[in-house]
Amino acid sequence: MLGEFEYLIISAASRLGEDAYGAAIRKEIEDATGDRCSIGALYTTLDRLEAKGFIKTRMGDPTPQRGGRAKRMVRVTANGVHAASDFYAAITRVSRGVSWKANRVAVQ
Amino acid sequence: MEGEPSRGPIMTRICWRSVDILSRMLSSGEREAVRGDLAESGATGRQALLDVLSLVIRRQAALWAHWRPWLTRVGLVVPLGMLVSVVSRRVAGLSAVYMWMYANNWDWNLLGYRGFWYQFAQSFEEIFLVYLTLVCWSWTSGFVLGSASRGIIRLNSVLFCVILSFGGLLGAPLYLAFLDRYLHRTLGLPSLPDSNAPVFELTFYRLIFPLIVQAILVVVPALWGLRQGAGVVRVRPLFRALLCAVAVATLAAMLIQIPELGLFLKTYRRPWIRQWEARLQFVVYWPVLYLVATSIGRRWRLGVGSI
């Protein structure tokens, strides 16, 4: 089972496709969640996902807008797609019939 | 640095300088990617520093979470550091006596006596061999540690220096004092006046000289050996196995030759250990041969490359 942050990374990398790399994934996550995504959390989670076989990474070519530095390109593997799909299905199932608006009112 | 402000308020410059220093603790590929990400996202100095710091802390914390680094630390860093410190203290004590004899009791008239020169040459030879042996043991200790510290070489270097400092300042003197008392108590040795007491009454020979010996003959060669040992993964497996065997034999020679450990191993009852000690003494100097051979090999490759 994936963790929440792992799911966010796999989803962002899948959406970006061939253009998935550290900074782009970070921006996708920050735009989607509205929270700051630290480089420390991103790169350690990328390593963990790679160790689990859910993504593959490689060093890309250096670009001028990055000060001539290379990108760490990310590609989601078939296992990664499967794990993210299972996570999404589980979240959908567990959320079925739950009305957050009603609960929020009840708590108040 | 390209893509990053090289001029600006002092705090910004300090932040980027800190980012430079901290990012050296990352692997080269990761450093490249992270610095590129920071440049692309237009991060401020403070943000970049926090980001790199968070990654470095996570990476360093991960090194403490696995069993292998702990095994290296507990099994190698601590025992090797303490053993070398004890040997260094003994060597410093021996050479302090000779040094005191010549430096603190110098008489120019001695130069006219042939007996003095004979005695001086003998002392010099003895001290030179003892120092060379200590340097080789320290280098080998570092080499073994470096070859077992893949990925955590910097951290283990710092820890090894900490253990050596502790051993030099506190561990070895306390241990040797305890051992002295223990031997007198268990073997019932009479309390004779120490013939070397005038030497060690002087603060320099008692406190400062052992630390100088430890710094020059232990810390420097050990750190050099650590760097060399870290590169041993690149050599052929057969040669690597040979190096490991020689290094283990050298450390075994160190264990046998430490008098108190010899007592514990009861070497006086086992003549074969004494025989091995004499044979291993030649192996102990292997770092000299190794460094000469690698230096010649490097020059030869450079020569071939430039043709």
Q: For B83-117, what is each residue's pLDDT tens digit?
A: 899 899 989 988 999 999 888 888 888 888 888 89
* pLDDT bucket at A35, cuts 50 / 70 / 90: very high
pLDDT score at B1: 44
Q: Is B265's pLDDT higher than 80?
A: no
pLDDT by residue (tens digit) across B16-58?
999 999 998 888 889 999 999 999 888 889 999 999 999 999 9
Kindly indicate the confidence band of residue B307, based on its pLDDT and cuts at 50, 70 and 90.
Answer: low
- The verdict on residue B223 lying in a domain is yes
Q: Are B58 and A66 a contacting pair at CB < 8 A?
A: no
Q: Are residues B75 and B166 in the same domain?
A: yes
Asked whether the predicted pLDDT for residue B9 surpasses 70, the reply is yes
Residue B110 resides in a domain? yes
How far away is chain B from the Cα of A29, in angstroms, using its nearest Cα?
A: 14
The pLDDT value recorded for residue A101 is 75
Q: What is the number of structural domains in chain A?
A: 1
Query: What DSSP line would sit under B198-265, residue for residue?
Result: HHHTSHIIIIIHHHHHIIIIIIHHHHHHHHHHHGGGGS-HHHHHHHHHHHHHHHHHHHHHSHHHHHHT
pLDDT in tens, B155-200: 888 889 999 889 888 888 888 888 888 777 777 776 667 778 888 8
At residue A90, does pLDDT exceed 60?
A: yes
Greater confidence, A107 or A65?
A: A65
A62 touches chain B (CB under 8 A): yes
Residue A2 CA to residue A76 CA, distance in Å, equals 14
Q: Is B195 helix (H, G, I), strand (E, B) or coil?
A: coil
Say which range, A12-16, A90-94, B280-284, has the weakest mean pLDDT. Answer: B280-284
> Using a CB-CB distance cutoff of 8 angstroms, which residues of chain A are in contact with residue B22?
none
The tally of domains found in chain B comes to 2
Same domain for B108 and B242, yes or no, is: yes
How far apart CA B98 and CA B105 sit, in angstroms, is: 10
Tell whether B30 and B54 lie within a shared domain: yes
Confidence of residue B267 (pLDDT cuts 50, 70, 90): low
In a domain, B30, yes or no: yes
Is B4 among the domain residues?
no
Hey, is the C-beta of A27 within 8 angstroms of any chain B C-beta?
A: yes
pLDDT at res. B214: 92
Handedness of CA B74, B230, B130, B255 (dihedral sign): positive
CB-CB under 8 Å, B34 with A39: yes
pLDDT at A23 over 90: yes
| Per-residue pLDDT at A106 exceeds 80 | no
Residue A9 to residue A74: CA distance in whole angstroms: 10
Same domain, B183 and B145: yes
- Identity (one letter) of the amino acid at B170? L
Q: What is the pLDDT of residue B191?
A: 67
User: What mean pLDDT is predicted for residues B299-305?
Assistant: 75
Tell me how far apart the alpha carbons of residues A76 and A54 are, in angstroms, rounded to a whole number.
6
Task: Confirm or reject contact between A82 and chain B (CB < 8 A).
Answer: no
How confident is the prediction for chain A on average, in pLDDT? 91
The answer to whether position B1 is within a domain reads no
This prediction has a pTM of 0.69
pLDDT of B31 = 92
For range A51-71, the mean pLDDT:
90
Does residue A22 belong to the interface with chain B, where contact is any CB pair within 8 Å?
yes
CA distance B1 to chain A (A): 8
How far off is chain A from B148, nearest CA to CA, in Å? 23
Give chain A's end-to-end CA distance (angstroms, integer): 33
Distance CA A40, CA B51 (A): 6
Q: Is B40's CB within 8 Å of A66's CB?
A: yes
**B1, B4, B30 ranked by CB distance to A43: nearest:** B30
In 3-state terms, what secondary structure has residue B307? coil
Q: Is the pLDDT of residue A88 over 90?
A: yes
* Nearest-CB residue to A69 (from B35, B50, B54): B35
Whether residues B15 and B131 fall in one domain: no
- Provide the 3-class DSSP secondary structure of residue B130: helix
Question: For B59, which residue in chain A has the nearest alpha carbon?
Answer: A44
Q: A5 — contact with chain B (CB < 8 Å)?
A: no
pLDDT grade for B6, boundaries at 50, 70 and 90: low
- Residue-wise pLDDT for B143-156, tens only, equals 998 888 776 788 88
Cβ–Cβ < 8 Å for B25, B56:
yes
Is B120 within a domain?
Answer: yes
Is A23 within 8 Å of B4 when comparing Cβ atoms?
no
Which residues of A fall within a CB distance of 8 Å from B40?
Answer: 23, 65-66
Average pLDDT over residues B254-266: 72
DSSP annotation string for A6-74: HHHHHHHHHHHGGG-BHHHHHHHHHHHHSS---HHHHHHHHHHHHHHTSEEEEE---BGGGTSB--EEE
Tokens found for residue B214? 């430890």
Do B102 and B208 lie in a common domain? Answer: yes
- Chain B residues inside the 8 Å CB shell of A68: 2-3
CA distance A98 to chain B (A): 37
The three-state secondary structure class of B78 is helix
Q: For residue B50, how many other CB atoms are within 10 A of its CB?
A: 18
Contact residues, chain A, for B51 at CB < 8 Å: 38-40
Range of the domain at B181: 66-306
Chain B residue at shortest CA distance from A46: B30
B115-132 b/e (C-beta count within 10 Å ≥ 16 → b): eeeeebeebeeeeeebbe
Report the range out of A42-56, B101-115, B195-209, B265-279 with the highest average pLDDT: A42-56
Same domain, B111 and B175: yes
Chain B residue with minimum CA distance to A42: B55
Mutate to test the interface with A, among B22, B51, B60 (most CBs of A within 10 A): B51
Instruction: Tell me the residue range of the domain where A48 lies.
Output: 4-107
CATH for A101 = 1.10.10.10
- Is B275 inside any structural domain? yes
The residue of chain A with its CA nearest to that of B56 is A40
Q: What is the ipTM of this complex?
A: 0.85
pLDDT tens across B203-212, in order?
898 889 999 9
- Chain B hits for A30, Cβ within 8 Å: none
Pick the closest to residue B96 from B204, B219, B248, B177 (CA basis): B204
B86 contacts B175 by C-beta, under 8 angstroms: yes
Between B33, B54, B56, which is nearest A71 by CB?
Answer: B33
Closest in B39, B50, B53 to A67, CB measured: B39
Nearest-angstrom CA–CA distance, B84 and B251: 10
Backbone angles phi, psi at A32, to 5 degrees: -75, -40
pLDDT at B2: 43
CB contact under 8 A, B55 and A22: no
Do B15 and B114 belong together in one domain?
no
- SS3 (DSSP) at A76: strand
